[in-house]
Amino acid sequence: MTNVLEDPAPLQLNYVPDEFQGRENEASELKTAFAGSEEAPLPNLHVHGPRGTGKTQVVNSVFSNLPKRVSKAYVPCDKYDTQYKALKQICKAFSQDVDDGHHTSELQRKIGEQVEVMKTVVILDEIDFLLLNDGDDLLYFLSRLENSDNISVVTISSNTKNLESLIEERTYSSLQPRRIGFEPYNGEELYQILAERAKKALASKSLQREALTYIASSTSNLGRSLTWLRYAAKTAETTITEELVREVEASAYQEYVNQLLDDFTEHHYLVYEAVYETSGEGEDSVRTGKIYEKYQELCRSTEKEALSDRRISDYIKQLELLGVVQADYYYGGKKGKTREVNLG
Ligand SMILES: Nc1ncnc2c1ncn2[C@@H]1O[C@H](COP(=O)(O)OP(=O)(O)OP(=O)(O)O)[C@@H](O)[C@H]1O
Ligand SMILES: [Mg+2]
């Protein structure tokens, strides 16, 4: 703890606030979808919006207040990115014992049985990662369950407004999700939300108004701005000034990226570092070949065995989904399609 930071928890990303200012409409849209009679079929939903707009927490808080007769499974698909891993998580949420060695079809059968006897909500957060890695078999299976009126599939994405573009037509047509968009907060809302969290975390009078205004006007991603504020608070001696906030902007952003990468492998981190270092070499964007060379170099210097360029190309796509790198695709060149990557 420092003089300024009295309690880091309210500035941490997994901290759940008592209320979600500015998300009343989205929360009530979610609730209305489940407000029908007990016999009404449960709808499927697709929740989308930029990073740090409250999707994960608002969806979870609405669904944890559902009536007891509805069971709920939450699966972060960046971590559980195959049908098998996700099915296992869903079974676990229904407190069915699943040791290793169960076959996919067996897990599917268990879930089918569960849905037969109980209304069920399955939340698939960061759905893009699973689709990228394993296709849409899981969604197809869930959408085609015999008692599909009894199950609601809720997908969440920071990248894809319309699921239709990512999944097969037969899956989409049986899923037919209702879309719920989370718009970025405006400057005023960001300021209020951050001020509220700061009040709980910081010593009184330790935060200058201009410092908070600067953060709120620089990014609408609350994950990034909360991390930024926490970082500044850790650095400050007595007061968080605008000057300090500007000074730590780049390091605080790196801290935010590190938190995102925490759930991934060390090779993801090395790839990110490779993009970071190569893009520092004068050009804005670099070809993937060059990134791969840099990555190999980093592996050698840390005595790790490099993964194939195929795998690394997938990792770059995952970094893209996280929003920490951007890629542009060009046609032409030796390999047909080439990719240029830069920092997000
Ligand atoms: N209206 C709000 N009031 C207070 N805190 C909020 C509000 N909306 C979001 N937050 C906070 O912002 C952080 C990010 O929220 P959350 O993880 O739900 O966003 P997200 O849209 O899922 O982000 P990502 O796309 O990166 O997963 C959390 O710490 C959350 O508590
Ligand atoms: Mg989220």
pLDDT tens-place string over residues 42-98: 899 999 999 999 999 999 999 888 777 788 999 999 999 999 999 999 999 987 777
CATH number at residue 189: 1.10.8.60
Which run of H or of E encompasses 341?
A: strand 337-343
- Final residue belonging to a domain, choices 259, 291, 317: 259
- Residue 51 Cβ inside 6 Å of ligand 1? The answer reads yes
- Final residue belonging to a domain, choices 181, 212, 243: 181
Whole-number pLDDT of residue 333 = 57
251 and 300 share a domain? no
Q: How far is the CA of 271 from the centre of ligand 1 (A)?
A: 27
Name the DSSP class of 29: H
Q: How far is the CA of 256 from the centre of ligand 1 (A)?
A: 13
**What is the rounded average pLDDT of the residues 28-46?**
85
Tell whether 2 is covered by a domain.
no
Q: Which of 8, 55, 6 is nearest to 255 (CA)?
A: 8
Task: Give DSSP secondary structure letters for 129-148.
Answer: HHHHHHTTHHHHHHHT-TTG
Q: In which domain, by residue range, is 296 found?
A: 264-343
Whole-number pLDDT of residue 181 = 97
Three-class secondary structure assignment of 290-340? HHHHHHHHHHHHCCCCCCCHHHHHHHHHHHHHHCCEEEEEEECCCCCEEEE
- Residue 271 Cβ inside 6 Å of ligand 1? The answer reads no
Q: Which of 232, 227, 235, 186 is nearest to 210 (CA)?
A: 232
Q: How far is the CA of 97 from the centre of ligand 2 (A)?
A: 27
How many domains is the chain partitioned into structurally?
3
59 and 176 share a domain? yes
- Residue 193 Cβ inside 6 Å of ligand 1? The answer reads yes
CATH number at residue 300: 1.10.10.10
- Contact between 321 and 310 (Cβ < 8 Å): no
pTM attached to this predicted model: 0.94
Q: Of 222, 224, 260, which is best to mutate to test ligand 1, by the most ligand atoms within 8 angstroms of its C-beta? A: 222
- Final residue belonging to a domain, choices 259, 285, 310: 259
Tell whether 306 is covered by a domain.
yes
166 and 77 share a domain? yes
Tell whether 1 is covered by a domain.
no
172 and 229 share a domain? no
- Residue 52 Cβ inside 6 Å of ligand 1? The answer reads yes
128-151 pLDDT per residue, tens:
999 999 999 999 999 999 888 899
User: What average pLDDT is seen over the chain?
Assistant: 91
Residue 288 half-sphere exposure toward CB, CA atoms < 13 A: 22
**What is the rounded average pLDDT of the residues 117-134?**
95
- Of all atoms in ligand 1, which is nearest to the CA of residue 21? 1
**What is the rounded average pLDDT of the residues 236-255?**
97
**What is the rounded average pLDDT of the residues 178-188?**
95
170 and 42 share a domain? yes
299-308 pLDDT per residue, tens:
999 999 999 9
Cα(294)–Cα(288) distance, rounded to whole angstroms?
A: 10
Whole-number pLDDT of residue 39 = 77
